[in-house]
Every structure is written in structure tokens, then in C-alpha cells.
Amino acid sequence: MIQVERLTKRYGNHFAIEDLSFTVEEGKIYGLLGPNGAGKSTTMNIITGYISATSGTVAVDGHDILEEPSAARACIGYLPEIPPLYMDMTPREYLNFAGELKGMKKAARKEQIQRVMDRTGITEMADRLIKHLSKGYKQRVGLAGALMGSPKVIILDEPTVGLDPAQVIGIRELIRDLGRTHTVILSSHILSEVQAVCDQVLIISAGHLAAQGTPEELSERLSGKSALNITALGDLEKVRSIVESVGQIGKILEAHEQNGETSLKVEIPAGRDLRAELSAALAGAGCPVTALATETLSLEDIFLQLTEGETAAGQPEAEKEPEANEQGEEKEE
């Protein structure tokens, strides 16, 4: 649906995003995840054609965003970070305007306005001025505007920022609902949100694509194989030999003995649960198990690991400064 290839955006000497490539498939919900200033908004602004990339290409439904801008933009409904609302209009007028911009015919527009308003729950606010609406309603009106014209792709930049918890849940449900009929890309710096809503997660850090996959895949792939912490009564040598005799078991990562209890950290292959076999084998050999726990890294850990690892591992101190600048710059944009 969307092909992004080697996308780079440079502000002066600073790269907001650098060499970013990914593909968005039809009918899925994608989450762009990253800390503030990672380049999420920049990426979205480029895909929607609001700003141009320094280099690289974006194709939406086969239409290059520079060669056929109108055709590409017709496929996209975009809700920027700050909803682009005209305060002196009512939601109904605004939706009508958004539909007209998308080139919809009058009859189709009228019908769709009603449908979109029902879907986003703004029907009772339809004829109040937008400037009198609360933030949550403004967000919904913006979202409704993005839905006008039934675009194939809906792009939402931080759709739940600044909303109260009830509204956040409402918007998330709406997004999940949208995912059934549209391709959705949303950005967020809140992990649980992406985990709850998205089919696919793209983690962006300092302008690079750090990781990509389903939330489960990411947890799994990035934690490597999951590990099992096991504690049993008995001396080290005995417990170790029993554990090693269990089939399919991986390496023993840590082992130590304390007060007649042995603690082991054992690697187990992905997708396998060997807890039952292990405890049965140990109990059978006269070493009762006192504790047993699977250790999987949560997406949160991976996220932190990835995004912090990026700055900690790769970049010298001096390069951290421009990152702070970038956040300022992006606000000015």
C-alpha cells in the first residue's frame, strides 16, 4: 500500500530521519513508535506530502508522492498532531469542506458526513462552533475529517495525546474499528497504546528504523530465546545434570548454589514451554522445585533497550546536542 524507500530529511546539518525504508501492507494497523523527536511526525508529514524529503521516495498505492501528488494524496486521510480545524466552522461545515477538498459529490458528501459523525460520536456537537468544543471532541472532529472521502490509508499522528483516559479508550476502539476497513498508520510514544492497537510495530529511534514486526514477534525476536529461572533443592552438580538431561533444553546461562538450593537460568527455544518437563524431572530425581519463572522481555524493555542503546552505544556525547535542537525545530515546523 505504501512503499517508503531510503527516505532522508535533513534540516541544515541535522538529519531528522535518515535512510528510512519500510513497506505498509493493506488492511493492517501500523504503529510508529519512538521517543519524542525520533522523526515520527516528519515521516508522516513526508508520506502525506506536507513536506518534501531531502532524498528517497514514497509511493502510496503505486502513486509516487512527487510525480502524482494529487492521486497519492487522494488515498490518504491525515490527522496531524494538531488537528487542522477551522475554529469558525461547525463540525458539519468542516466535514463538508473536508469532503469537498477530497472532490466528493454533494449527495455522497451529505450521506458520508452523517456516517462519519456517528462513527466518531460527534453527532450531538454537529452544529456547535468548533472553537467551543472540548479537546477530545476537537480530536474526534479532526479524525472525522480524515475519514471523509473514505481514503484507503488513514494516518494519525499521536491521536490520543492530551485526552482523558476514557477518551483514549474511545479513540483506541475507534482505531481498531477503522483497522477493519482501512489501512491505518498511527504514531505514538506510548508503548502500551501501540501494543494494544497495532498489528505491526515500527520502532523509530533518532531517525532510523530500529525494529519492525508484530508486537509478539518483536518481544520474541529481540529478547532472543526466552529464558527460564529455576530454583531447586539439591547441590549444583546434581541439579545441573538433571536439567541437562531434559530434551530440547538450551544452554545454562547462570548457575549458583546457596544454602543447599541451586538457582539456574536456562535458555529455552522460542515458542516452547518446558516448565512441566523440567519440574517433573527434578522432582522425580529428588530435587523439589521451589521456584520456576519464565522470563520474557516485554516490549517496553525492548523499546527502552533499542532507543537507549542507540544513543548509548553508537553516538558520542557531542551528537546528543542536535537531538535536543531537533525537538525544538519540529515544534516550529
Partner 1 sequence: MIAIYKRELKSFYSGMMGYLLDAFFILVGGLYFTAVNLQGGYSYFTYTLYNTCFVFLIFVPVLTMRSFAEERHNKTDQLLLTSPVSLGRIVMGKYLALMTVFVVPLAVLSICPLLLKMGGDFSNLSNYSAIFGYFLLGAACIAIGMFISSLTENQIIAVLGTFAILLLTYLMSGIRTLFTTGSSLALIVFAVLLLVISLLVGLNSKSLSLGCMVFVIGGAVLLVLFKVRSAALTTAFSALLGYLSVFDPFQNFVGDLFSITAIVYYLSVAGLFLFLTGQSLEKRRWN
| Residues found near partner 1 in the complex (CB under 8 A) | 45, 48-52, 69-71, 73-74, 76, 78, 80, 82, 84-89, 93, 97-98, 100-103, 145
Q: How far apart are CA 65 and CA 67, in angstroms?
A: 6
- Smaller CB separation from partner 1, 48 or 226: 48
Nearer residue to partner 1 within complex by CB, 70 or 258 = 70
Residue with Cβ nearer partner 1 (131 or 251): 131
Least separation in angstroms between CB 51 and partner 1: 5
Neighbours of 58 (CB within 10 A): 21
140, 256, 310 from 133: Cα distances, Å: 10, 62, 41
Q: Would the CA dihedral through 78, 81, 87, 92 be positive or negative?
A: positive
Q: Is 214 exposed, middle or buried (0-12, 13-18, 19+ CB in 10 A)?
A: middle
CB of 40 to partner 1, least distance (A): 15
- Nearest residue (CB) to partner 1, 80 versus 213: 80
Closest CB 300 distance from partner 1, rounded Å:
31
Give 280's contacts (C-beta < 8 A, 6+ positions apart): none
Own/partner long-range contacts of 97-103 (Cβ < 8 Å, ≥24 apart): 98/145, 98/146, 98/148, 98/149, 99/148, 99/149, 102/74, 102/148, 102/149, 102/151, 103/74, 103/149
Give the integer Cα–Cα distance in Å for 228 and 225.
10
* Minimum CB distance to partner 1, residue 89 (Å): 8
Smallest separation (angstroms) from partner 1 to the CB of 292: 54
Contact yes or no for 233/226 (Cβ under 8 A)? no
Enter the C-alpha cell of residue 73. 494524496
C-alpha cell read off for 115: 456516517
- Measured from the CB atom, is 102 or 208 closer to partner 1? 102
Min dist CB 114 to partner 1, Å, is 19
41 vs 262, beta carbon nearer partner 1: 41
| 96 or 205: CB nearest partner 1 | 96
- Minimum distance from residue 316 beta carbon to partner 1 (Å): 27
